[in-house]
Amino acid sequence: MSKLRTFTFNGLDLLISPYLQQEGDLIRSVNVNNFPIGAKTKRPGYQTFLANPDNQPVTALFDWHKSDGTTFWLYRVSNGVIYNSAQGTAPWSPCSNGTITPGATPGYAILDDVLILGDGTAATRHSTDGVTFTNTPAAPYAPWFEVYQGRVYAIGTASDIFYSCVSDATNWTSGGTADSSSIHVPGKGKLNSCFKIADRLIMTKNSGEGYRWDGYTLYDMATNLGPTSPYSIGKIEQHRFWINRQGIYGFDGDAFTLLSNPVGRLIFNDNNTGIAGTTFDTAPGVGNRWDYFVTVGSSTDDLTNEQITNLTLDYDFQHNEWTCYNTATLPTCWLAFDDNTRTRQTIFGDSSGQCYQWGGTALSDNGTPIQAVMEGVIHFGSPEADKKFNYIWAMTNPGCQAHIQVAIANTFTKQKLNWISLGDLSDGITEMRFPKDSDGKLMFWKLTENSMQDRFTFFGFVVDVDIQERQ
C-alpha cells in the first residue's frame, strides 16, 4: 500500500509528455487562479460597467488623468463615436467632434494635458478639455501614438514615423523654430505598433520586425517576433507582452522572449485547431495587475482535444504559469486603469456595446455561472505497473460545490476514458472510496464546478493505492 500526497498544483502545460509530468501538473486548467501558492481558486467573475449607449461593438477603451491629480475621464469608442465618462462614474456621453472611422480602433497619447488620437483614416484629433475634440492641422493620419523625449510620435502611415514639436502635441510643422520631422523605418511590412520601454522607443512592423530609437539612432533589433496584433500589447511595470503567430512574447528592453511554450498547442498545432489565423491580427490584451490577458476566441489543443470557446489566455507573470479563461462574453477590447480613488480596475467591452468590470466580488459572468475545470494524470512514478486504487481524500474549503471524477486507464487515450464521479467536496476534507475493481496503470482525475456560490479553493488530494510491481 502506498499513499501519494499532492498539494502543489502547477500551471497548464500541454508541451510535456504526460508520462514526464509530475503529479501536480495540469493538462486542463479552465477558470482557475493561482491562489494561495500551490493551490487553485476559482477565478472571479464580472458585472456590467455603466449603461450601454448604442449597442455597437466596443472597439477601444482608454483613460486620461489630467496633471491636476483629480480630473479624470474614461473613454470608449463604438461605431466610430468617442464617448467620455467623467471620473469613470458618469454615464457615457458623446464627445463634441468625437467621431472617427466606424469600426476603427484609435491610438492615443497624452502630452502636457493634451490628448491626441487618430485611427489612420479619419483626421487626427486632439482635446484639452476632455470632452471636445479639434482636428490637428498638419498631423499625420496615424493609428498609433506614443510620447517620447517630450514629443508625440505617430506611426502607422506605411514605414514612416512622424514626431511633433517638443512639448507641443498639436504642432506638426517644420521650419523656423518648429522642429517636427519624420524617420523612415526600413525593412519589410508596415509599421503597426510602438511603445516605450527602458528609455527607448520600440517600433514594430506587421512582418514582426522590430526597431529601437534612442532619439538619435535607429537600431535594427534583428527579429521578426514583434506583435501581429498591436491591440494585444499589455504592460506590467517595465515588461511588455503580446501575441504573434509564433506564440506569446515578453520584452523587458533586451530581447523578445517566448513565454507560451506550455500553451503552444492552443496557439497552433498539427490538427490546425488552434487560434484562427485572422485573430492574430486583432486579439486584444491587457496587463491586469500581475497577469497578462489576451483574448483569442475559440481553440482546441491536440493533446486533450477539448475545445475552449471565448478563450482568454492568462499568463501569471509572478509565478510563470498559464491558465485558460472561458468567459460568457467574448471581450473585444480591454483596459486597466486607476479609478478616482486610485484603486486599480480592469474593464472590457463586447460586441453588443456593453462594458463590464472584471473581478471584485462578482461570483458569476454577469449572471452566467462560471464553469471551472482542473484535470491531470498520475502514474505514481511507475506507469508500467498495475495499480489497485482504494481511497482518495480531497482538501477544499468547507461548502465547496466542486465534484471530483476519476478515470482508470492503461493508456493515454482521451476518447476511451470512462469517467466515474466520486462525489462532491463540501466537507472540507472529503474521504471517498474508489469503486470496486478500480485497477489500471494510470489515474486521470478531474475537478469541476459550475455554481454561483463563493469561489472554491482546492488545496490538494491524497490517493491510497496498491502498486503491484511485476516480479
Residue 393 identity (one-letter amino acid): W
Q: Read off the pLDDT of each residue in 11-23 and give the average, rounded to a whole number.
A: 88
Q: Is the pLDDT of residue 392 over 60?
A: yes
**Domains identified in the chain, total number:** 1
222: alpha, beta or left? (left if phi > 0; alpha if psi -120 to 50): left
Q: Please report whether residue 432 resides in a domain.
A: yes
Residue 465 β-bridge partners: 2, 389
Cell of 231: 491591440
Which pLDDT score, from 0 to 100, does residue 157 have? 81
Cell of 342: 486610485
Distance CA(108)–CA(194), nearest Å, equals 11
Q: Which domain holds residue 460?
A: 2-43+372-468
Distance CA(5)–CA(3), nearest Å, equals 6
Q: Please report whether residue 381 resides in a domain.
A: yes
Which pLDDT score, from 0 to 100, does residue 118 have? 96
Which pLDDT score, from 0 to 100, does residue 411 have? 87
Residue 342 β-bridge partners: none
388: DSSP letter: E
Which pLDDT score, from 0 to 100, does residue 241 have? 97
Which pLDDT score, from 0 to 100, does residue 17 have? 87
The overall average pLDDT reported for the chain is 94
Which pLDDT score, from 0 to 100, does residue 468 have? 84
Within 10 angstroms of residue 309's Cβ, the number of other Cβ atoms is 12
Which pLDDT score, from 0 to 100, does residue 470 have? 66
The enclosing domain of 9 has a CATH number of 2.60.120
Q: Please report whether residue 17 resides in a domain.
A: yes
Q: Please report whether residue 79 resides in a domain.
A: no
Which tens digits make up the pLDDT trace of 19-63?
888 888 999 999 999 989 999 999 999 999 999 999 999 999 999
Residue 128 identity (one-letter amino acid): T
Distance CA(41)–CA(30), nearest Å, equals 11
Q: Is the pLDDT of residue 245 over 70?
A: yes
- CA distances 44 to 6, 172, 327, Å, are 25, 46, 11
Q: Please report whether residue 30 resides in a domain.
A: yes
Q: Is the pLDDT of residue 305 over 80?
A: yes
Residues 6+ apart with CB under 8 A from 222: none
Q: Please report whether residue 71 resides in a domain.
A: no
Q: Please report whether residue 25 resides in a domain.
A: yes
Which tens digits make up the pLDDT trace of 90-117?
999 999 999 999 999 999 999 999 999 9
Which tens digits make up the pLDDT trace of 174-206?
988 899 999 999 999 999 999 999 999 999 999
Which pLDDT score, from 0 to 100, does residue 415 have? 67
Model confidence at 471, pLDDT cuts 50, 70, 90, reads low
Percent of the chain predicted with pLDDT > 70: 99
Q: Read off the pLDDT of each residue in 147-175 and give the average, rounded to a whole number.
A: 94
Which tens digits make up the pLDDT trace of 116-129?
999 999 999 999 99
Distance CA(94)–CA(79), nearest Å, equals 12
- CA distances 258 to 92, 243, 250, 255, Å, are 39, 10, 7, 10
Which tens digits make up the pLDDT trace of 343-370?
899 999 999 999 999 998 999 999 999 9
DSSP string, 351-420: TTS-EEEESTT--SBTTBPP-EEEEEEE-TT-TTSEEEEEEEEEEE-TT---EEEEEEESS--GGG---E
Which pLDDT score, from 0 to 100, does residue 1 have? 65
Which pLDDT score, from 0 to 100, does residue 341 have? 85
- CA distances 256 to 82, 206, 247, Å, are 34, 15, 11
Q: Please report whether residue 407 resides in a domain.
A: yes
